[in-house]
């Protein structure tokens, strides 16, 4: 299932003051949450203007830190595969993995 469809079905909503930085897969999120930024998609009929390219690059610079963290969590396979253990323990294991990553970052 696509991430955006999963987000829609989850029923999770952001507060009005929360800024949502999303990728191109979340194009319709602006209808659900007004305070969200999504990059502009190009098409064959309409290439991006230099201003749109600049705005997309600025948004990517803001999102890269979160993408790196998600990538590191996928190394532990808790996000990249189906979780097959007890659902009650998912939060505990996720927090432990996040703590390991945070301690690794702090050691630099």
Q: Map out the domains of the chain as residue ranges.
A: 3-82
What pLDDT does 45 receive? 94
Residues of the chain short of pLDDT 70, as ranges, are none
What pLDDT does 52 receive? 95
- Verdict on whether the full-model pTM lies above 0.75: no
Encode pLDDT of 64-81 as tens digits. 988 888 888 888 777 777
* Token pair listed for 59: 């948004």
Sign of the dihedral through C-alpha 75, 80, 85, 86: positive
* Token pair listed for 55: 């705005």
Kindly tell me the burial class for residue 48, based on how many C-beta atoms sit within 10 Å of its own C-beta (0-12, 13-18, 19 or more). middle
């Amino acid at each position: 299932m696509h991430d955006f469809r999963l987000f829609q079905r989850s029923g999770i909503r952001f507060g009005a003051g929360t800024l949502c930085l999303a990728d191109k897969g979340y194009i319709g999120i602006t209808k659900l949450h007004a305070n969200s930024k999504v990059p502009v998609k190009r098409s064959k009929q309409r290439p991006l203007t230099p201003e749109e390219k600049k705005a997309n690059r600025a948004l990517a610079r803001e999102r890269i830190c979160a993408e790196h963290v998600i990538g590191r969590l996928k190394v532990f396979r808790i996000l990249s595969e189906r979780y097959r253990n007890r659902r009650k323990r998912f939060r505990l294991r996720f927090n432990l993995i996040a703590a390991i990553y945070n301690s690794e970052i702090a050691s630099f």
